[in-house]
Structure 1
Amino acid sequence: MLKKMLVVAIATTLLSSCSGETSLKPSEYSTEVNQRFTGNLAYETTDFVEDYWRIVGNTGFNKSIDLIAEHLKKAGYVLEENATENDLLTYRIEKRPLKRPTWEPVDAKVLLNNKKEPLLEFATNRNMIAINSYSTPTKGVTAEVVYVKDLKKLKEMKLKGKIVFVERSPYSVFKTAIQEGGAVGIFSYSNPKYLQPEKNTTSIQFRGIPLDTVKKPWTIALSYAAKERLKKAFEKGKVMATVNVETKIYPSEELTIVADVKGSELPKERLVFSAHVQEPGANDNASGVGVALEMATITAQLIQEKKLNLKRSLTFLWGDEIVSTNRYVKEDSIRAKDIKWGISLDMVGEDTKKTGGVFLIEKMPDPSAIWTRGNDKHTEWGGRKMKLKEMKPHYLNDFLIGKFEAQGKLANWKVSTNPFEGGSDHVPFLRSDIPSVLFWHFTDQFYHTDNDRIDKVSKSTLKNVGTAALVSAYTLVNSDQGTAYNIIKQIESAAVNRLEEELKQGKIALQKGDSLKTQLAIVDAWEDWYKKAVATTFDMVQDSTSIKSAVTESQDRISSKAVHISKELQDKE
């Protein structure tokens, strides 16, 4: 009888396993997701989206939203208005009228002094038309170009009917040159050094001008090569330019698409991934769109196969950078209070051998954003020095770093971090006191330029980012007392390592003549940050008393380490 029962039990287990009805354990997330996340869908989506010049409301933006919706439906997501209580996978497309018209470029060409070879043409430089530029008359505009080296003299110059050429942002001269001076248009060059313009001579970083429905002006952004050629033309005398611009400016609506995977126990609590659609590049940010879509698709597969059961909800949001995320956080205060984590997917697919960037986790504000030293470095994008009151202590930083470093070790993929800088979809979360980080790459020598195309995207990078992000998300939304214990240990270890690093950096600073008071303040700041970060693990459990002693003991050990570090610094003084 016992033998018969054993056989039946084994058969039942095998049947359950074969039918995919056994939920994955957290220790199995990485293996399962690594097998499923090929990067194919992410890459194909990136390739589709980057074909279009995308601004909220325009053709390319809306076609991208349609593509996402099509794939979500195919993956098993049900349109929210047709869903029942039993549907775990749903999506909706939010539509709102735009207050201002949308814009899209169609074509452009610039000729100098009637020469046949164009100075620039849209077919090869699709960032040459500044956002909000109007079309020229069908036959174009021919006008003298005025080179303005000193902006202080701009008001004194006769600009009516002429084209103003400046080596700076068009915004800086728009009012004086166009609205007051009567210039017909602007030639602008302002590529920053980190784009390596003398190497990437054809790159143009996209630019914009104010929408002026009265003057209906246009601006042409120049590449380094075009700028140099134009300056040489001035050496020979008067420069005339013929400019043809074709754009579309029209009323439209703002689309945001939101996909939800409903949690089984705490459905109101959620993790939100945000990927913005606007911006015309491949890496920025067609790659984020593609990674999020493959993540959503794989999650649907695992749910349908009953290999994955999520305790809390998982949300994927695609829309207009910062605007859509900000609205998602602020529009529904009841929903917002249950958003436990927010993650921005922005520039996540780079072929780093080509772009020069490295994958980065931009941390929530910690003391490295005040005292940036040692291995902590700001990117060329830059970040201001923050204040202690702006710190956001939380376990999310070190938890994600650990998960991504594990994927990096597995795939021989480099993972790094940078102090908080802002500028993407993580900011609205943080402003609402929701823990949030940014996944991105920098420095990218093709950032915001028309050379940010599909050839700069790596399928393996898409896979690594998407895999590590999914593994992290599943762990967080299914977190419990056991997860909390593990993270407490992880945070304590990170705190010890950080304090030891600050001892090293403090000694170097003292040798250079910096004050002991400052070094002790840095140690105190990190101690405080990590003690508070340990305490944030309470949000993983329903009963805080279950981990209270573990939190307190960990905090005590962090304090003890900090006291030791401070004493050693004082002894060195």
Structure 2
Amino acid sequence: MFKNLLLSTLFLFVFISCKKEKEVQLLNSSNYFDVLNKEFTGDLAFETTSFVEKYWRVVGNTGFNKSVYRIAEQLEKAGFVNEDKATKKDILTYRIEKRPLKKPTWESVNAIVEIEGENIPLLQHSTNRNMIALNSYSTPKEGVVAEVIYVKNLNTIKTFDVKGKIIFVETSPSRVFNEAIVKGGAVGVISYSNPKYLQPEKNTTSIQFRSIPLNEKIQSWGIAMSYEAKERLKAKLLKGKVSLKVTIATNIYPSEELTIIADIKGSVISKERLVFSAHIQEPGANDNATGVGVALEMATLTAKLIEEKRFEPNRTLTFLWGDEIVSTNRYVKEDSVRAKDIKWGISLDMVGEDTKKTGGTFLIEKMPDPSAIWTRGNDKHTEWGGFKMKLDQMKPHYLNDFLIDKFKEQGKRANWTVNTNPFEGGSDHVPFLKANIPSVLFWHFTDQFYHTDNDRIDKVSKTTLKNVGVTSLVSAYTLLNANNTTAKSILKTIENKAVSRLQQEQKLSEISLKKGDSLNTEIAIISAWNDWYFKTANTTLDIAKDSTELTKKIEETQKRINLISAEIIEKLKLTKMN
């Protein structure tokens, strides 16, 4: 009797303990970081990156299409149903959109460049897979032998007799294609144009991929060189006439454009959605096989948590994989009703770097804010390059500071460096912004292997993939289930960030005034930040149902921002007077 009672008590204790443990693992806003840091391993992200990076990917070619179908295979394993077979009850769905390409696709096969009379090749595809310029045609199987003409000054190219020759230039091959090949009759172009941030004298074998116009009539070719190959060819030319034997094999053929889209349907406000976009094309590992891999693990993990009834999104979560900017632009434009309810867009691009090898840091490229007009203090453009924007191009929204706040928290947890840069453009966040949809870019820069054939899997960090994936999901889940309480919390963050920013700008303005800079300029900067955060506070209304209480808090926040700005401007006037 006592034994039975003891066993029953023990069973009850174990049952209650297991139940509590299970309850603890249910996701909510207070434990997103804890749970997702345990659940997101980075394994699938890394495995997918490894698969995709094997291929030189351009829309429509073998590697691009294999990547799409690999994503589809993994989605189905996770429980996603092809839309063609899905019912209204299916929460997890995906589709592959197919469109004929207007122009043929392209893929490199093999190439070798040899200096006549020397045994060691100048370049070969097996070690430099970026050497063939995109859109190059094959040479005859036996190759082409021709004299090299070095053109130092592009303005003088018309004075050269280039017919039947190979043109050697230190610029992009596309810049001389028309003049040298179409008009001049050169058989091909060999070029060098690695920018300084690639550290070419250190990474002597790197080749940053290049392209030439697709010309089906002339069917010519371009070769891009590494620093090592460029120096070797120049040294040879100093000794006299040089001929090269160039053998190229490429495939150019009609194809179709594939885009794969996965939806995780929201249970309450399903029309509203957050979209993660990761482009497949480009030949590297970090750029952008990592974005493909992180997005896939994010999608499959979310499916797992939903299947286990540990998470239920109120809004829809969408993942899009396709051709950079083109696919995202179409997704935003082709359905105006759908686009109206896209609340947030995030671009995952170069998100897995081993920064000890590549350099740079993880970056959140902000929506256009005044730092893209007055870039100073801790705000710095990357070597990729920014441009000075105008006040009417600003996009005030809480998404900037909300995401920075989340990523900084993961940074503290994982001892991971997170920085920001002013808006520069050039990735999948741009189509969202053009459609007035709040959007940012997650990426890394400077990367000394950016767009080069040394951007391989050994430059990818599973830890970084995990950090980006975890924090992206924490941010997404918070927004998908955002309510009045979330809006108030974000508003408080905005108020704190506004005060901090205005105080930083005050210090910078004081320094500028002491150097003799214009008071009007400094007032304009403070006023721009005041306007940015004033309007940003209003954007929190887009996640609140009953806005009465929030509206009151917004007004209080805006009054405080205005007051602080006014005080700062008065202090700056006094500083100028003194």
Query: Quick one: distance in 1 between partners of 2:45 and 2:28?
Result: 26
Per-residue CA deviations over 1:408-450 (Å, capped at 9, x if unaligned) read: 0000000000000000000000000000000000000000000
CA deviations on 1:189-217 (whole Å, 9 max, x unpaired) are 00001101011000000000000001100
Please state if 1:383 is matched with 2:392. Answer: no
| Contact 2:526–2:569 (8 Å) recurs in 1 | yes
What does residue range 501-516 of structure 1 map to in structure 2 within 5 Å?
501-516=504-519
1:557 maps to which residue?
560
Alpha-carbon deviation of 1:532? 0.6
| Deviation readout 1:286-319 (Å, 9 max, x if unpaired) | 0000000010011001000000010100000000
Matching residue of 1:533: 536
Alpha-carbon offset, residue 22 of structure 1: 7.3
| Shift, 1:53, TM fit | 0.3
Say which SS state the counterpart of residue 328 (structure 1) adopts.
Answer: helix
Name which of 424, 429, 435 aligns with 1:426. Answer: 429
Structure 1 partner of 2:3? none
| Structure 1 residue aligned with 2:458 | 455
- The one-letter code sitting in structure 2 at the alignment partner of 1:559 is N
The question of whether the paired residues in 2 share the 8 Å contact of 1:196 and 1:445 is answered with yes
- What is the number of equivalent residue pairs in this alignment? 567
The answer to whether the Cα contact below 8 Å between 1:55 and 1:102 also exists between their aligned partners in 2 is yes
Match of 1:411 among 401, 410, 414: 414
Match among 253, 258, 262 for residue 259 of structure 1: 262
Q: Distance in 2 between matches of 1:103 and 1:9?
A: 65
Unaligned runs of 5+ in 2: 1-9
1:3 maps to what in 2? Answer: none
Give the alignment of 1:78-117 within 5 angstroms. 78-117=81-120
Deviates more, 1:49-58 or 1:25-34: 25-34
Kept in 2, the 8 Å contact 1:114–1:241? The answer is no
Question: Retained in 1: the 8 A contact 2:187–2:220?
Answer: yes
Question: How far 1:15 sits from its partner (Å)?
Answer: 6.9
Q: How does 1:29-44 map onto structure 2 within 5 Å? A: 29-44=32-47
- 1:156 alignment partner AA: T
Aligned to 1:172: 175
Select which of 161, 166, 173 maps to 2:164: 161
**2: CA distance, partners of 1:118 / 1:20:** 64
1:346 aligns with 2:349: yes
8 Å Cα contact 2:25-2:35 kept in structure 1: no
Shift of 1:265: 0.4
Of 211, 222, 229, the match for 1:208:
211
Question: Cα distance, 1:64 vs. partner?
Answer: 0.4
Structure 1 SS opposite 2:30: helix
Distance 2:13 2:560 in 1: 47
One-letter code aligned to 1:555:
Q
Deviation at 1:11, TM superposition (A): 9.8
Structure 2 residue 239 is matched with structure 1 residue 236: yes
Identity, % of aligned positions: 66
* 2:64 alignment counterpart: 61
More displaced 10-residue stretch of structure 1: 284-293 or 22-31? 22-31
Specify the SS of the correspondent of 1:82: coil
Distance between the aligned counterparts of 1:566 and 1:12, measured in 2? 64
Match of 1:374 in 2: 377
1:220-235 to structure 2, matched below 5 A, reads 220-235=223-238
Query: Does structure 2 retain, via aligned residues, the 8 Å contact 1:191–1:205?
Result: yes
What is the rounded CA distance, in whole Å, between the counterparts of 1:18 and 1:394 in structure 2?
Answer: 38
Deviations 1:145-164 (CA, angstroms, capped at 9, x unpaired): 10111212211211111100
Q: CA separation in 2, counterparts of 1:506 and 1:230?
A: 52
Task: Map residues 541-552 of structure 1 onto 2, 5 A cutoff.
Answer: 541-552=544-555
Question: Which residue number corresponds to residue 443 of structure 2?
Answer: 440
Q: Contact between 1:21 and 1:307, CA under 8 Å: does it hold in 2?
A: no
- Match of residue 6 from structure 2: none
SS in 2 for 1:486: helix
Task: Look up the SS of the partner of 2:146 in the other structure.
Answer: strand
Measured after TM superposition, the shift of residue 172 of structure 1 is 1.2
Residue 366 of structure 2 corresponds to which residue in structure 1?
Answer: 363
Q: Say whether 1:335 aligns with 2:345.
A: no
1:197·1:224 contact (CA, 8 Å) conserved in 2? yes
Q: Secondary structure at the match of 1:27?
A: coil
* 531 and 9 in structure 1: CA distance in 2 versus 1, 3 angstrom threshold: farther
**1:76 to 1:19, Cα distance in 2 relative to 1, 3 A:** farther
**135, 139, 164: which one pairs with 2:138?**
135
For the residues of structure 1 that align with 2:17 and 2:90, how far apart are their CA atoms? Answer: 28
* C-alpha distance in 2 between matches for 1:346 and 1:482: 31
Matched letter for residue 377 of structure 1:
K
- CA distance in 1: counterparts of 2:457 and 2:157, whole angstroms: 40
Identify the residue that residue 4 of structure 1 maps to in structure 2: none
Letter in 2 for 1:104: E
Counterparts of 2:118 and 2:187 in 1: how far apart (Å)? 21
In 2: Cα distance, 1:198 partner to 1:260 partner: 46
Q: What SS is found at the alignment partner of 1:81?
A: coil
Moved more, 20-29 or 562-571: 20-29
Amino acid at match of 2:215: D
Question: Are the structure 2 counterparts of residues 22 and 416 from structure 1 closer, same or farther at C-alpha, using a change threshold of 3 Å?
Answer: closer
* Distance (whole Å) between structure 2 residues aligned to residue 13 and residue 484 of structure 1: 36
Describe the superposition over 1:260-309 as per-residue Cα deviations: whole angstroms up to 9, x where unpaired: 00000000100000000000000000000000001001100100000001
Q: Does 1:312 align with 2:312?
A: no
Segments of structure 1 that go 5 or more residues without pairing to the other structure are: 1-6
Secondary structure at the counterpart of residue 107 of structure 1: strand
Match of 2:84, SS state, is helix
TM-score by length of 1: 0.97
Give the whole-Å Cα distance in 2 for the aligned partners of 1:269 and 1:87.
Answer: 17
Residue 236 of structure 1: CA displacement?
1.1
Q: Deviation of residue 221 (structure 1)?
A: 0.2
1:283 is matched with which residue: 282, 286, 291? 286
Question: C-alpha distance in 2, partners of 1:106/1:559?
Answer: 62
Assess if the C-alpha contact under 8 Å between 1:492 and 1:558 holds in 2: yes
For residue 23 of structure 1, report the CA deviation from its aligned partner. Answer: 4.2
Between the aligned partners of 1:150 and 1:494, the Cα distance in structure 2 is 51
Match of 1:520 in 2: 523
- Please state how far the C-alpha of 1:544 moved relative to its aligned partner: 2.0
Cα distance between partner residues in 2 of 1:352 and 1:572: 42
Q: 1:234: how far off?
A: 0.4
Q: Secondary structure at the match of 1:90?
A: strand
Structure 1 pair 475–10 and aligned structure 2 pair: CA distance change class (3 A): farther
Task: Find the counterpart in structure 1 of residue 28 from structure 2.
Answer: 25
- Please name the residue that 1:273 is paired with: 276
Q: CA deviation at 1:565?
A: 1.0
In structure 2, C-alpha distance between the alignment counterparts of 1:456 and 1:353, rounded to whole Å: 9
**Any idea what the Cα deviations from partners look like across 1:478-507, whole Å, max 9, x if unmatched?**
000000010000000000000000010001
Q: Which runs of 4+ in 1 moved over 4 A?
A: 7-23
What does residue 492 of structure 1 align with?
Answer: 495
Native 8 Å contact 1:140 1:245 kept in 2: yes
8 Å CA contact 1:16–1:22 kept in 2: the answer is no
In the alignment, the residues of structure 2 paired with residue 92 and residue 231 of structure 1 have an alpha-carbon distance, to the nearest angstrom, of: 52
Give 1:184's match in structure 2, choosing from 172, 187, 203: 187
Secondary structure of the residue aligned to 2:31 is: helix
Describe the shift of the 1:122–1:22 C-alpha distance in structure 2 as closer, same or farther (beyond 3 A). Answer: closer
